[in-house]
Amino acid sequence: MHIAIAGNIGSGKTTLTQLLAKHYKWDQLQEAVDNNPYLFDFYKDMQRWSFNLQIFFLNSRFEQLLEIRRSGRNVIQDRTIYEDAYIFAPNLHAMGLMTTRDFENYFRLFENMDNAITPPDLMIYLQAPVEKLVKQISERGREYENSISIDYLKRLNERYEAWVQTYDKGKLLIIDVEDNSFHNNREDLGRIINKIDAEIHGLFPMDDEAKGLEKAAPRNKAKKAAKKVVKKK
């Protein structure tokens, strides 16, 4: 089973990846951030390092997908190869931060990779307004993210919303995280897990009221059965 978590910068992908991996006792594949040789330079000079950064991420994600297929393990993956190709790289090109020549070269490489990979069994998209993203980026305090502009986040959000509307690689679960504190609220996390279980096991998630009705049903049946026995006597 391969579950992938997609979402804008600061949406909570890494945290949810860790929590779900712990819950299901599955392996987790984190985004290559700490060992990324281009990330700090990119945020200082996006135009100079955009192509290098995107190629690094593309290759890193491709390696992860090959490893998932080779190992056959159950995996939760933090961010996907599709976000690189359909959101981040096109956004950099549209902003004039990646040349057309580099972008076309990049996208041809992605298309070749796309023909060789298997999409996730379930894609989870963490949907969040820019205000929420800014708040969470600020709270985690990564130095290299201090230069991220609100305009940049808005552009990415617009592309995410457009991409998710056309996603057709497999099952898709959209989680609105604006009022969801899954990182420190067990009930919020539980609701997400119920929705995931419904997708991967083909079950219908139930709210508290429905669960109460389900528990009451056997007792009601028992009462009716007892009444029938009394009538027969």
**pLDDT tens, residue by residue, 206-233:** 554 444 434 444 444 444 444 444 444 3
Structure tokens at 150: 């609100």
Catalytic residue among 27, 34, 45, 78: 78
Pair 189, 230 in one domain: no
Closest to 121 (Cα-Cα) out of 52, 202, 216, 55:
202
The torsion angles phi and psi of 228, rounded to 5 degrees, stand at -65, -40
Pair 63, 119 in one domain: yes
Whether 102 is catalytic: no
> Is pTM, for the whole model, over 0.95?
no
Residue 95 sits in which domain range? 2-202
Pair 108, 187 in one domain: yes
CB neighbours of residue 149 within 10 Å: 8
Pair 64, 166 in one domain: yes
Closest to 117 (Cα-Cα) out of 233, 4, 225, 231:
4
What is residue 84's DSSP assignment?
Answer: I
Pair 158, 231 in one domain: no
**pLDDT tens, residue by residue, 40-74:** 898 889 999 999 999 999 999 999 999 999 998 99
Provide the CATH number for the domain around residue 129.
Answer: 3.40.50.300
Work out how many domains the chain is built from and give that number.
2
Pair 112, 182 in one domain: yes
